[in-house]
Amino acid sequence: MNDLQQLLRAIGLHFTAQGLDDLVATATKRRMGARELIEHIARAEDLDRKNKSLERRSSRSRVGKFKPIADFDWDWPKKIDRQAVEDALTLDFIASASNVVLVGPAGLGKSMIAQNLVHNAVLKGHSALFLSAAQILNDLSAQDSGRALERKLKFYCQSISLLCIDEIGFLTYESRAADLLFQIISRRHEKKSVIITTNLAFSDWPTVFPNASCTVAMIDRLVEHSSIIEIGGDSWRKRAAEQRLKAKPRKLKSA
Protein backbone atom coordinates (compact mmCIF):
# COMPACT_ATOMS: atom_id res chain seq x y z
CA MET A 1 0.00 0.00 0.00
CA ASN A 2 2.86 2.39 0.80
CA ASP A 3 4.45 1.72 -2.59
CA LEU A 4 1.13 2.44 -4.30
CA GLN A 5 0.73 5.69 -2.36
CA GLN A 6 4.21 6.78 -3.41
CA LEU A 7 3.44 5.94 -7.03
CA LEU A 8 0.17 7.91 -6.90
CA ARG A 9 2.01 10.93 -5.49
CA ALA A 10 4.71 10.57 -8.14
CA ILE A 11 2.11 10.90 -10.91
CA GLY A 12 0.36 13.80 -9.16
CA LEU A 13 -2.64 12.04 -7.63
CA HIS A 14 -1.96 13.39 -4.15
CA PHE A 15 -5.59 13.43 -2.96
CA THR A 16 -6.04 9.79 -3.98
CA ALA A 17 -2.80 8.81 -2.28
CA GLN A 18 -3.79 10.54 0.92
CA GLY A 19 -7.18 8.81 1.10
CA LEU A 20 -6.19 5.50 -0.45
CA ASP A 21 -7.43 3.34 2.44
CA ASP A 22 -10.84 5.01 2.41
CA LEU A 23 -10.99 4.75 -1.39
CA VAL A 24 -10.30 1.01 -1.32
CA ALA A 25 -12.95 0.54 1.37
CA THR A 26 -15.51 2.57 -0.58
CA ALA A 27 -14.78 0.77 -3.85
CA THR A 28 -15.11 -2.60 -2.15
CA LYS A 29 -18.34 -1.67 -0.37
CA ARG A 30 -19.96 -0.30 -3.53
CA ARG A 31 -18.49 -3.05 -5.71
CA MET A 32 -17.25 -0.45 -8.18
CA GLY A 33 -16.30 -1.52 -11.64
CA ALA A 34 -13.11 -0.30 -13.28
CA ARG A 35 -14.80 2.58 -15.15
CA GLU A 36 -16.75 3.73 -12.09
CA LEU A 37 -13.62 3.66 -9.95
CA ILE A 38 -11.62 5.69 -12.48
CA GLU A 39 -14.43 8.25 -12.75
CA HIS A 40 -14.62 8.46 -8.95
CA ILE A 41 -10.88 9.12 -8.70
CA ALA A 42 -10.94 11.67 -11.52
CA ARG A 43 -13.83 13.65 -10.00
CA ALA A 44 -12.28 13.60 -6.53
CA GLU A 45 -8.90 14.79 -7.85
CA ASP A 46 -10.53 17.51 -9.96
CA LEU A 47 -12.58 18.81 -7.01
CA ASP A 48 -9.55 18.75 -4.71
CA ARG A 49 -7.44 20.73 -7.19
CA LYS A 50 -10.20 23.29 -7.71
CA ASN A 51 -10.55 23.73 -3.95
CA LYS A 52 -6.80 24.16 -3.51
CA SER A 53 -6.68 26.62 -6.40
CA LEU A 54 -9.49 28.62 -4.77
CA GLU A 55 -7.64 28.60 -1.45
CA ARG A 56 -4.46 29.87 -3.12
CA ARG A 57 -6.27 32.63 -5.01
CA SER A 58 -8.15 33.65 -1.86
CA SER A 59 -4.94 33.86 0.15
CA ARG A 60 -3.13 35.79 -2.56
CA SER A 61 -6.01 38.23 -3.03
CA ARG A 62 -5.21 39.87 0.35
CA VAL A 63 -8.90 40.66 0.72
CA GLY A 64 -8.91 39.65 4.39
CA LYS A 65 -12.04 39.57 6.53
CA PHE A 66 -15.01 41.47 5.15
CA LYS A 67 -18.76 41.73 5.46
CA PRO A 68 -20.71 40.02 2.66
CA ILE A 69 -22.77 42.26 0.43
CA ALA A 70 -25.90 40.63 1.88
CA ASP A 71 -25.18 42.62 5.07
CA PHE A 72 -25.00 45.95 3.25
CA ASP A 73 -27.62 48.40 4.58
CA TRP A 74 -28.87 49.95 1.37
CA ASP A 75 -31.14 52.35 3.28
CA TRP A 76 -28.31 54.03 5.19
CA PRO A 77 -26.44 55.94 2.44
CA LYS A 78 -28.32 59.03 1.30
CA LYS A 79 -26.99 58.47 -2.20
CA ILE A 80 -26.11 55.18 -3.88
CA ASP A 81 -26.98 53.51 -7.17
CA ARG A 82 -27.84 50.00 -5.97
CA GLN A 83 -28.38 48.70 -9.50
CA ALA A 84 -24.90 49.87 -10.54
CA VAL A 85 -23.38 48.03 -7.58
CA GLU A 86 -25.32 44.85 -8.32
CA ASP A 87 -24.34 45.08 -11.99
CA ALA A 88 -20.68 45.36 -10.96
CA LEU A 89 -21.03 42.30 -8.73
CA THR A 90 -21.82 40.20 -11.82
CA LEU A 91 -18.22 40.95 -12.92
CA ASP A 92 -19.21 41.54 -16.53
CA PHE A 93 -16.82 44.50 -16.54
CA ILE A 94 -13.83 42.16 -16.32
CA ALA A 95 -14.54 40.63 -19.75
CA SER A 96 -14.43 44.09 -21.35
CA ALA A 97 -11.41 45.24 -19.28
CA SER A 98 -13.54 48.05 -17.84
CA ASN A 99 -13.12 49.62 -14.42
CA VAL A 100 -15.20 50.34 -11.34
CA VAL A 101 -14.64 53.53 -9.34
CA LEU A 102 -16.31 53.93 -5.93
CA VAL A 103 -16.40 57.55 -4.76
CA GLY A 104 -17.58 58.86 -1.41
CA PRO A 105 -16.69 59.91 2.13
CA ALA A 106 -15.08 57.50 4.57
CA GLY A 107 -17.26 54.98 6.38
CA LEU A 108 -19.93 54.39 3.75
CA GLY A 109 -18.90 50.93 2.52
CA LYS A 110 -16.70 51.63 -0.50
CA SER A 111 -14.05 49.16 0.64
CA MET A 112 -16.70 46.62 1.62
CA ILE A 113 -18.16 46.69 -1.88
CA ALA A 114 -14.69 46.48 -3.41
CA GLN A 115 -13.81 43.50 -1.20
CA ASN A 116 -16.95 41.71 -2.34
CA LEU A 117 -16.04 42.39 -5.97
CA VAL A 118 -12.56 40.92 -5.45
CA HIS A 119 -13.99 37.93 -3.57
CA ASN A 120 -16.50 37.24 -6.35
CA ALA A 121 -13.69 37.39 -8.88
CA VAL A 122 -11.70 34.82 -6.91
CA LEU A 123 -14.75 32.52 -6.72
CA LYS A 124 -15.14 32.75 -10.49
CA GLY A 125 -11.55 31.68 -11.11
CA HIS A 126 -9.87 35.05 -11.63
CA SER A 127 -6.64 36.15 -10.02
CA ALA A 128 -7.43 39.24 -7.97
CA LEU A 129 -5.62 41.51 -5.53
CA PHE A 130 -6.94 43.98 -2.95
CA LEU A 131 -4.40 46.51 -1.65
CA SER A 132 -4.43 50.12 -0.55
CA ALA A 133 -2.80 52.74 -2.73
CA ALA A 134 -0.19 53.23 0.00
CA GLN A 135 0.71 49.52 0.04
CA ILE A 136 1.16 49.38 -3.73
CA LEU A 137 3.13 52.62 -3.99
CA ASN A 138 5.35 51.74 -1.03
CA ASP A 139 6.05 48.35 -2.59
CA LEU A 140 7.00 49.90 -5.92
CA SER A 141 9.07 52.65 -4.33
CA ALA A 142 11.03 50.09 -2.31
CA GLN A 143 12.44 48.36 -5.40
CA ASP A 144 16.19 48.93 -5.46
CA SER A 145 16.85 48.68 -9.19
CA GLY A 146 15.20 49.42 -12.50
CA ARG A 147 14.98 45.72 -13.27
CA ALA A 148 13.32 44.93 -9.93
CA LEU A 149 10.84 47.77 -10.43
CA GLU A 150 9.96 46.51 -13.91
CA ARG A 151 9.33 42.99 -12.55
CA LYS A 152 7.04 44.40 -9.88
CA LEU A 153 5.18 46.57 -12.40
CA LYS A 154 4.65 43.53 -14.61
CA PHE A 155 3.20 41.71 -11.61
CA TYR A 156 0.67 44.48 -10.91
CA CYS A 157 -0.07 45.14 -14.58
CA GLN A 158 -0.03 41.70 -16.21
CA SER A 159 -0.24 38.91 -13.63
CA ILE A 160 -3.43 40.06 -11.87
CA SER A 161 -6.77 39.87 -13.68
CA LEU A 162 -8.49 42.28 -11.28
CA LEU A 163 -6.57 44.83 -9.23
CA CYS A 164 -8.27 46.86 -6.50
CA ILE A 165 -6.49 50.04 -5.40
CA ASP A 166 -8.13 51.11 -2.16
CA GLU A 167 -8.14 54.46 -0.38
CA ILE A 168 -6.82 56.93 -2.94
CA GLY A 169 -7.13 60.35 -1.37
CA PHE A 170 -6.32 59.72 2.27
CA LEU A 171 -2.61 60.48 1.85
CA THR A 172 -0.60 62.80 -0.36
CA TYR A 173 2.30 61.56 -2.51
CA GLU A 174 5.30 62.90 -4.31
CA SER A 175 5.57 63.05 -8.09
CA ARG A 176 7.37 59.70 -8.36
CA ALA A 177 4.46 57.94 -6.66
CA ALA A 178 2.07 59.54 -9.13
CA ASP A 179 4.27 58.37 -12.00
CA LEU A 180 4.21 54.80 -10.65
CA LEU A 181 0.44 54.81 -10.24
CA PHE A 182 0.13 56.24 -13.75
CA GLN A 183 2.22 53.32 -15.02
CA ILE A 184 -0.21 50.84 -13.49
CA ILE A 185 -3.33 52.58 -14.79
CA SER A 186 -1.80 53.14 -18.23
CA ARG A 187 -0.48 49.59 -18.69
CA ARG A 188 -3.75 48.01 -17.57
CA HIS A 189 -5.82 50.40 -19.71
CA GLU A 190 -8.12 48.42 -22.05
CA LYS A 191 -6.29 45.22 -21.07
CA LYS A 192 -7.21 44.41 -17.47
CA SER A 193 -9.73 45.80 -15.01
CA VAL A 194 -9.10 48.07 -12.03
CA ILE A 195 -11.27 48.88 -9.01
CA ILE A 196 -10.61 52.22 -7.33
CA THR A 197 -12.01 53.49 -4.05
CA THR A 198 -11.53 57.16 -3.28
CA ASN A 199 -12.92 59.75 -0.91
CA LEU A 200 -12.23 62.55 -3.39
CA ALA A 201 -13.82 63.73 -6.60
CA PHE A 202 -11.47 63.51 -9.59
CA SER A 203 -11.21 67.30 -9.62
CA ASP A 204 -9.53 67.06 -6.20
CA TRP A 205 -6.97 64.40 -7.16
CA PRO A 206 -4.27 67.04 -7.84
CA THR A 207 -4.26 67.59 -4.06
CA VAL A 208 -3.18 63.94 -3.64
CA PHE A 209 -0.36 64.34 -6.18
CA PRO A 210 0.31 68.09 -5.87
CA ASN A 211 3.45 68.25 -7.98
CA ALA A 212 2.65 65.58 -10.57
CA SER A 213 2.11 66.39 -14.23
CA CYS A 214 0.50 63.04 -15.08
CA THR A 215 -2.60 63.27 -12.88
CA VAL A 216 -4.97 64.44 -15.61
CA ALA A 217 -3.72 61.79 -18.05
CA MET A 218 -4.11 59.12 -15.37
CA ILE A 219 -7.70 60.15 -14.67
CA ASP A 220 -8.51 60.22 -18.40
CA ARG A 221 -7.36 56.64 -18.86
CA LEU A 222 -9.06 55.47 -15.69
CA VAL A 223 -12.52 56.88 -16.41
CA GLU A 224 -12.64 56.18 -20.16
CA HIS A 225 -14.15 52.74 -19.58
CA SER A 226 -15.42 52.99 -16.02
CA SER A 227 -18.58 52.60 -14.02
CA ILE A 228 -18.40 55.45 -11.51
CA ILE A 229 -20.51 54.80 -8.41
CA GLU A 230 -20.96 57.72 -6.02
CA ILE A 231 -21.98 57.09 -2.43
CA GLY A 232 -23.13 59.88 -0.11
CA GLY A 233 -24.31 60.15 3.47
CA ASP A 234 -23.06 59.79 7.03
CA SER A 235 -20.44 57.32 8.17
CA TRP A 236 -21.56 53.89 9.33
CA ARG A 237 -18.77 53.88 11.86
CA LYS A 238 -20.05 57.16 13.32
CA ARG A 239 -23.55 55.69 13.53
CA ALA A 240 -22.23 52.53 15.21
CA ALA A 241 -20.27 54.60 17.73
CA GLU A 242 -23.35 56.66 18.55
CA GLN A 243 -25.43 53.51 18.99
CA ARG A 244 -22.83 52.02 21.35
CA LEU A 245 -22.80 55.23 23.36
CA LYS A 246 -26.59 55.20 23.69
CA ALA A 247 -26.52 51.53 24.72
CA LYS A 248 -24.17 52.17 27.65
CA PRO A 249 -25.96 52.35 31.00
CA ARG A 250 -25.85 55.81 32.50
CA LYS A 251 -24.08 56.18 35.82
CA LEU A 252 -26.20 57.66 38.60
CA LYS A 253 -24.80 60.85 40.06
CA SER A 254 -23.99 60.67 43.73
CA ALA A 255 -25.94 62.98 45.98
What whole-number distance in Å separates Cα of residue 208 and Cα of residue 94? 27
Residue 70 pLDDT > 60: yes
Tell me the β-bridge partners of 100. 195, 227
Give the Cα separation of 34 and 180 in Å (integer): 58
* CA dihedral sign of residues 212, 217, 221, 227: positive
Pairing of strands 226-230, 128-132: unpaired
Pairing of strands 99-103, 128-132: unpaired
**Beta sheet of 193-198, edge-to-edge order:** 128-132, 162-168, 193-198, 99-103, 226-230
**Model pLDDT, residue 236:** 75
pLDDT in tens, 19-33: 999 999 999 999 999
Which domains does the chain possess?
2-61 (no CATH), 69-239 (3.40.50.300)
Query: Is this prediction's pTM over 0.85?
Result: no
Average pLDDT, the chain: 93
Cα–Cα nearest to 157, from 194, 121, 120: 194
Distance CA 216, CA 48 (A): 47
Q: CA 11 from chain center: how many Å?
A: 34
In tens, the pLDDT along 149-205 reads 999 999 999 999 999 999 999 999 999 999 999 999 999 999 999 999 999 999 999
Confidence band of 255 (pLDDT split at 50, 70, 90) = very low
Average pLDDT over every residue of 122-145 = 96
